[in-house]
Amino acid sequence: METINIGLLGLGTVGSGVYHLLSRENKVVQERLDAKFQVKKILVRDLKAERFFPVERELLTDNAAEVVDDPDISIVVELIGGTNVAKQLIEQAIAKGKSVVTANKELMANFGGFLLDAARDRGVDLYFEASVAGGIPIIRPLKDNLIGNKFKQIMGIVNGTTNYILSKMATGREFAEVLAEAQQLGYAERDPEADISGSDAGAKIAILASIAFNSRVSAKEVFTEGITRVTAKDIMYAREFGYTIKLIALAKEDKGMLDVRVHPTMIPLTHPLAAVNDVYNGIYVIGDAVGELTFLGRGAGSLPTAAAVVGDIFEAALNIKFQRRGRSGCTCFRSLPVKSIDDVKSNFYMLMEVADQPGVLAKIAQIFGDNQVSVGSVIQKQSSGNVAELVFMTHIVREGNLRRALKDIEDLEVVKTICNVIRVEAAENA
């Protein structure tokens, strides 16, 4: 029976899971492929570190060349992360004629086009299913299974850490405590700033948008806003209006332009993504032929992510076995510009603390009117002393107009604080 040798780059959270699943499922692979997988070498940084699953010590190396330059290894699996060493080693592996599997969203969102072209030119594959939404199959469905559709929008909860935090905050717990818990559970990135700031989700929606709209979107083109300003009070007011708050990554095509962004978003409690809680991820897709689809599952963690990586290894192995490599090349044949956030239109929620005296609401309403911001509803909540809380919901407005209005409102003496402004995906602009 043929042996397909695999080299792992990294044996951390995901790498350990991949090693474990490859050993566990080798029998099934043999039946399906008439070939067996053999992990030949594993690159790590620290040869002495304690490993989560038992690994034969002689498999470990701290010399990358033992993986990427070994002529017997035909699939290299990059699970190091980051864009420096990982990119260099993937390029080296491709140049040596190896197919590559990676879970690295940062790399694919910034250098995906370049690496996919390099793989196609060399006649090898580059698969990256685990780079978005961990265990949920979404990249291959968008690329292949759903090719008969024109996509109207992709809307996702694609960061498990922030979804975990927002879900727990909705039950009254504090941000810092829940973040520490998410890190302990292995959901958060080593530097959780990438999760909390929205940049992890930004990289993921850049990848999904590029595939769905066949037009390259890089991570830096995605408008991102994180979750640090969201409070338990916002979540409570959201409920009063029939919404919940999620960190939503969104991509739409609108009049020849792409609208791609990540930010805390109020979505109706009836939306399929509203029920996606804890570390779960969800991706809601509208295709013109298929209609609405929702993909749900675990978006992070060792085994869920490893399961997606193993699926890609199997696909790459199938291609090797049947000599049909180079099938996973770049699909971005269009070139659509990405809209500036100022030109994006949506509904908005705003919470302000103002002086509780006559005429305040009229002054604010005047500024909104002057900037073509139409208010749908306003609720006044009594706060302490002579300060009142005002909660506004707007109709659909152009974001640039709202920002201009808020600048003037902030300057009003009667306005103490604009506590928060959150975009709303209501049914009318969904």
Residues annotated as part of the active site: 204
b/e string for 361-379 if b means 16 or more Cβ within 10 A? beebeebbeebebebeebe
Q: What is the full DSSP assignment across 195-233? A: HHTSHHHHHHHHHHHHHHTTB---GGGSEE--STT--HH
Near ligand NAP in 100-119, by CB under 6 A: 103-105
User: What mask of x and - would describe binding to ligand HSE in positions 249 to 288, judged by CB under 6 A?
Assistant: ----------------------------------------
What is the smallest separation between the CB atom of 218 and ligand HSE, expressed in angstroms? 18
DSSP type of residue 141: I
Judged by CB, which is closer to ligand HSE: 7, or 297?
A: 297
Report if residue 46 touches ligand NAP, rule: CB under 6 A.
Answer: yes
Quick check: 15 binds ligand NAP (CB under 6 A)?
yes
Within 37-76, the residues that bind ligand HSE by CB under 6 A are: none
Q: Is 300 exposed, middle or buried (0-12, 13-18, 19+ CB in 10 A)?
A: buried
Q: Find which of ligand NAP, ligand HSE, none residue 161 binds, CB within 5 to 8 Å per kind.
A: ligand HSE
Residue with the closest Cβ to ligand NAP? 12
Does the protein bind ligand HSE through residue 300 (CB under 6 A)?
Answer: yes
CB of 180 vs ligand HSE, minimal distance in Å: 14
The one of ligand NAP, ligand HSE, none whose footprint includes residue 81, by CB under 5 to 8 A per kind, is: ligand NAP
Measured CA to CA, the distance from residue 283 to residue 424 in angstroms comes to 17
- Nearest residue (CB) to ligand HSE, 188 versus 421: 188
Find the DSSP H helices in 81-138: 85-95, 105-122
Q: x/- string (CB under 6 A) for ligand HSE, residues 175-204?
A: ------------xxx-----x----x----
- State the minimum distance, in angstroms, from the CB of residue 353 to ligand NAP: 39
Q: Which two tokens stand for residue 177?
A: 């405590």
Tokens 């911001």 locate to 373
Q: What is the rounded distance in angstroms from the CA atom of residue 254 to the CA atom of residue 259?
A: 7
Question: Which stretch, 99-107, 112-120, 250-258, 314-322, contacts ligand NAP (CB under 6 A)?
Answer: 99-107
Give Cα separations from 274 to 139, 258, 318 (angstroms): 22, 24, 38
Q: Please list, in sequence order, all residues whose beta carbon lies within 8 angstroms of the beta carbon of residue 295, skipping any fewer than 6 positions away.
A: 133, 136, 137, 138, 141, 282, 283, 284, 285
The residue among 151 and 280 lying less far from ligand HSE, judged by its C-beta, is 280
- What's the min distance (Å) between Cβ of 186 and ligand HSE? 9
CB-neighbour burial class of residue 323 (10 A; exposed 0-12, middle 13-18, buried 19+): exposed
Enumerate binding residues for ligand HSE (CB under 6 A). 134, 159-161, 187-189, 195, 200, 299-300
Enumerate binding residues for ligand NAP (CB under 6 A). 10-15, 43-46, 49, 79-81, 85, 103-105, 130, 134, 186, 190, 300-301, 305
